[in-house]
Amino acid sequence: MSKQNSFLDKIRTRRLTATFTLLVTLTCGIIAGSVLARGVSGKEAPVDSSDAAPLKIPAPVDLATDFTKIAKEVAPAVVNINTETFPKAGGNSGRTGGSDNAPNFQDFFNRFFGQQGPGGDDGGDGGDASGGGGIRQALGSGFIVDPRGYIVTNNHVVDKADKIFVKLSTDPDGGPGDLGRPAKVVGVDKDTDLAVIKIDTREPLPTVKMGNSDGAQVGDWVEAIGSPFSLAHTVTAGIVSAKDRTIEGGPSGQFQKFIQTDAAINPGNSGGPLVNMDGQVIGVNTAIYTQSAGYQGIGFAMPSNTVIKVYNDLIGPEHKVVRGSIGITFQGALPLAVSRVYGFKNGVLVNSVQPDGPAAKAGLQQGDIITSINGKPIKGGDQLVDIISACKPGTTVQLGYLRNGKQTTTTVGIADRSKLFANILSGGNNGNAPSQPDQMQGRVGIAVKTIPPAVASKLGISGGVQISSVKSGSFADQIGLAPGLIITEVNRKPVTSPEELKAIVDSIKSGDDIVFLVRDPRVSGGGSTYLGGTLP
């Protein structure tokens, strides 16, 4: 036993000795490393660098590309636009949006996608900025198209601004308080979100070259120039991703057919040019699609051909764009079931006719299908709008249309669109009639009630039923029927009561098309829509 203990003691002693030796070795290494380090950086042992060759700045190499050339040519004509909006009575500045200088850089472009700016306003070029006395400031871009100082930008950049300032690339930097040269609004067009402003100048200013946007093709290289996040004259490059993009539905989007690009566009780029590889402006940077208030690779520019037409109207004597109208509304895209039920492939199905408007006076009715203008076939609503809006108020056109399968022609006058639809106002549903559910929940998925007298009087209708509820996931839900809408027709048959609606629906077999003509009581003077599909 004593021998075993002695053996164990020797093992323990050797382990301690080995441990001590290891610690001494590590300590010496650390000390040596410290000494060496001191020798490198300290005065005791300086490193001899006499053999090191000094670096030389090489002669500049011209690596000019088309991008470089275009940027140099166009940039002098691109300007920064600063605006100031004073507080209004009630604490509302009246401006939509604010400035790109806000911490979260909320983008003015979000107005196209249902998002709101930091101040609760819908849109604007950024968020609120700090300003003395509550003054709200905003920043955008623009470009000079006339050496006398005429500048194109977006309407939302200058909308409701009390003061507008413009800075050229050649203007000296006067410090934080120097916003630039004062500018005045020549004219604005809200339908295309374009504006023309002017600055005074004693000398001719550099201008851009305008191009033909119809010549732009998907895949073409483009450059976007502007002042994102207050970074003046920033150039980004990308390609044309798509053309004729519509990003806002309804009448407000009829005149907004955008060029889509993946060139980086951010807050502050609004109003700046989109330039092709020939240095020509083919668009005005107007909007982006974003879920983070920043660039995500999808930007939109108003085509230059539209810009030129609007510009020429805005610099005219009236300083506004006058568009023709015949006083009808229609849907841009219809379910296939609607065209089958109403018996047409090409043409425009009339949703509603403005009372006392040119179309009403010419005898057009809801449900008519416009097939031609001045003898030329019409394929759809976009073509109809392009032709009619270009007509001067006071002139006339020959319209061909189908009614109950019969072709008819009539002469229709052209009115000023802005005046014709000036009285279409939104309102609420104040009816208090009790709900009278029908028995269609199992098949269509809606419950209806008689129309409240106040609603019927407001809309000027005597028939129809109002949807009181829609079953989630039902056929009605899938085709877009919603509570509050008023059904006036089903498959071209008038509906005057819940019982009549049930009888019509019950007569339609599964697998057949069913189309509802509905009215929105919140919209006065219009709001008719065709909704339909194949009944399961």
Task: Give the residue numbers annotated as catalytic, written as ranges.
Answer: 156, 193, 270
268: tokens are 């502050």
Cβ atoms of residues 224 and 199 within 8 Å: no
The C-alpha atoms of residue 103 and residue 130 are separated, in whole angstroms, by 10
DSSP type of residue 452: P
Residue-wise DSSP of 475-492? HHHHHT--TT-EEEEETT
Q: What is the chain's Cα-based Rg? A: 34
Q: What count of other Cβ atoms lies within 10 Å of the Cβ of residue 249? A: 11
With tokens 């005046």, the residue in question is 419
The C-alpha atoms of residue 254 and residue 244 are separated, in whole angstroms, by 11
The C-alpha atoms of residue 372 and residue 375 are separated, in whole angstroms, by 6
Task: Give which of 355, 152, 174, 136 is closest to 271, Cα–Cα.
Answer: 152
362: tokens are 């010419």
57 Cβ contact list (under 8 Å, min separation 6):
none
177 Cβ contact list (under 8 Å, min separation 6):
none
257: tokens are 């057919």
Q: H or E element: which one contains 324?
A: strand 324-325
Q: What count of other Cβ atoms lies within 10 Å of the Cβ of residue 56? A: 6
Q: What count of other Cβ atoms lies within 10 Å of the Cβ of residue 277? A: 14
Cβ atoms of residues 188 and 159 within 8 Å: yes
Greatest Cα pair distance, the chain, in angstroms, is 128
No. of helices (H) and no. of strands (E), the chain: 11, 27
The C-alpha atoms of residue 190 and residue 234 are separated, in whole angstroms, by 27
Q: What angle do CA 417, 418, 420 make, to 5 degrees?
A: 60
Q: What count of other Cβ atoms lies within 10 Å of the Cβ of residue 311? A: 23
Pairing of strands 209-210, 280-288: parallel
